[in-house]
Amino acid sequence: MREDDDTELLERVRALRAAGSGPKQVARALGLRPGQAGALVRRAAAADQAVEPGDRPVVGCWVSPGWSSGLDLSACPGWAAQDSSAGEEATGAGFAQLLVARRERASRVTVTGVLVDVYCLGIKNVIEPRTMGAGSLKAYRRSYYSAFQEPSLPIGIEQAQAIVYGAVAYARELGFEPAPGFTQAAAVLGEPAGALAQIGFGNQGMPFYLNGPRDDARAVLATLERTRGAGNYHYILASGPM
44 and 66 fall within a common domain: no
Is 220 inside any structural domain?
no
Q: For the chain, 242 residues long, give each residue's pLDDT as a single digit of tens.
A: 444 567 788 778 777 776 677 888 888 888 888 888 788 877 777 666 655 667 789 999 999 999 999 999 999 999 999 998 887 667 778 999 999 999 987 788 999 999 999 999 999 999 999 999 999 999 999 999 999 999 999 999 999 999 999 999 999 999 999 999 999 999 999 999 889 999 999 999 999 999 988 899 999 999 999 999 999 999 998 765 55
The domain total for the chain is: 2
Is 54 inside any structural domain?
no
* Strand locations in the chain (E): 58-63, 95-105, 108-117, 122-133, 153-155, 208-210, 234-236
Domain span at residue 17 reads 3-49
33 and 150 fall within a common domain: no
Is 98 inside any structural domain?
yes
Contact between 25 and 40 (Cβ < 8 Å): no
164 and 101 fall within a common domain: yes
159: three-class secondary structure by DSSP: helix
